[in-house]
Chains A and B, each alone.
Chain A
Amino acid sequence: EIVLTQSPGTLSLSPGERATLSCRASQSVSSSYLAWYQQKPGQAPRLLIYGASSRATGIPDRFSGSGSGTDFTLTISSLEPEDFAVYYCQQYIRSPQTFGQGTKVEIK
């Protein structure tokens, strides 16, 4: 199974700052099979990015994804108050699909 390792575990930032989240895979997931989700307390996850860089419907353009092979990045260009949450990456190139352990973006 493909293991996804996210870093850092926690990111402490202020509104307006740029957030850079990393997801590293134990083997290549190409550039087409990596997604990012946002989860807030008490809510289901929400798809932000699929195919490593395509924004899902309704996702603001301050969210962007990049990367290929084994290294991927989610960037939030300027944090809004509603962006403080936990973020997960997911690979779906091979079954079983797997998720990273999550990065919490908290208010500094």
Chain B
Amino acid sequence: EVQLVQSGAEVKKPGESLKISCKGSGYSFTSYWIGWVRQMPGKGLEWMGIIYPGDSDTRYSPSFQGHVTISADKSLSTAYLQWSSLKASDTAMYYCARPLPFGGDLDAYDIWGQGTMVTVSS
């Protein structure tokens, strides 16, 4: 079964760093892009960026460029989303997702992780 399994919920203080993970299984991890999507409490979906684990080619939304870092470790079949200094406004659910295999980095997402809730509060 193809699946993405994300790391558990996090509670952090402003200014702290954080790295959350998304582990792929049931498919060739290095052959598919992995995207990240933010959903703030009670709000809609926002595309953050995407990485190709095969060569670590990474694209960011201008809204998130410089605020987060997307990476991947192909030996662990795991993608990551990290912050160096969290803000209260980073409080959200974060989803990783795998696009369909037709359009490279630009395609609809048919496989989703269960989400990681990040809460940033003093």
Q: Do A and B come from one complex?
A: yes
Give the B-binding residues of A (Cβ under 8 A): 1, 33, 35, 37, 39, 44-47, 50-51, 56-57, 88, 90, 92-102
Given contacts A46-B112, A92-B107, contact A97 B44 (CB under 8 A): no
Give chain A residues whose Cβ lies under 8 Å from the Cβ of B45: 37, 39, 45, 88, 90, 99, 102
| Chain B residues proximal to chain A, CB less than 8 Å | 35, 37, 44-47, 59, 61-63, 95, 97, 99-100, 103, 105-110, 112-115
By beta carbon, the residue of chain B nearest A44 is: B112
- Of B47, B63, B108, B115, the most chain A CB neighbours within 10 A belong to B108
Closest-by-CB residue of B relative to A93 is B106
Contact A50–B108 (Cβ < 8 Å): yes
Q: A97-B47, A99-B45, A101-B44 are in contact. Are A57 and B110 (CB under 8 A)?
A: yes
State whether A95 and B106 are in contact (beta carbons under 8 Å apart), knowing that A44-B112, A100-B44 are contacts in the complex: yes
> Are A96 and B110 in contact (CB-based, < 8 A)?
no
Taken together as a complex, chains A and B put the C-alpha atoms of A90 and B115 apart, in Å, by 19
Chain B residues within 8 Å of A98, by CB: 47
CB distance from A98 to the nearest CB of B (A): 7
CB-defined A-B contacts under 8 Å, sample of 16? A1-B62, A44-B97, A44-B112, A47-B109, A51-B108, A57-B110, A90-B109, A92-B99, A94-B106, A95-B61, A96-B61, A96-B62, A97-B61, A98-B47, A99-B45, A101-B44
Excluding A44-B114, A47-B108, A94-B106, 20 further A-B contacts by CB distance (< 8 Å) are: A35-B109, A39-B45, A44-B97, A44-B112, A44-B115, A45-B109, A88-B45, A90-B47, A90-B108, A90-B109, A92-B99, A95-B59, A95-B61, A95-B105, A96-B63, A97-B61, A97-B106, A99-B44, A99-B46, A102-B44
* Shortest Cβ distance from residue B1 to the other chain A in the assembled complex, whole angstroms: 13
Docked Cα-Cα span, A44 to B47, in Å, equals 14
CB distance from B9 to the nearest CB of A (A): 13
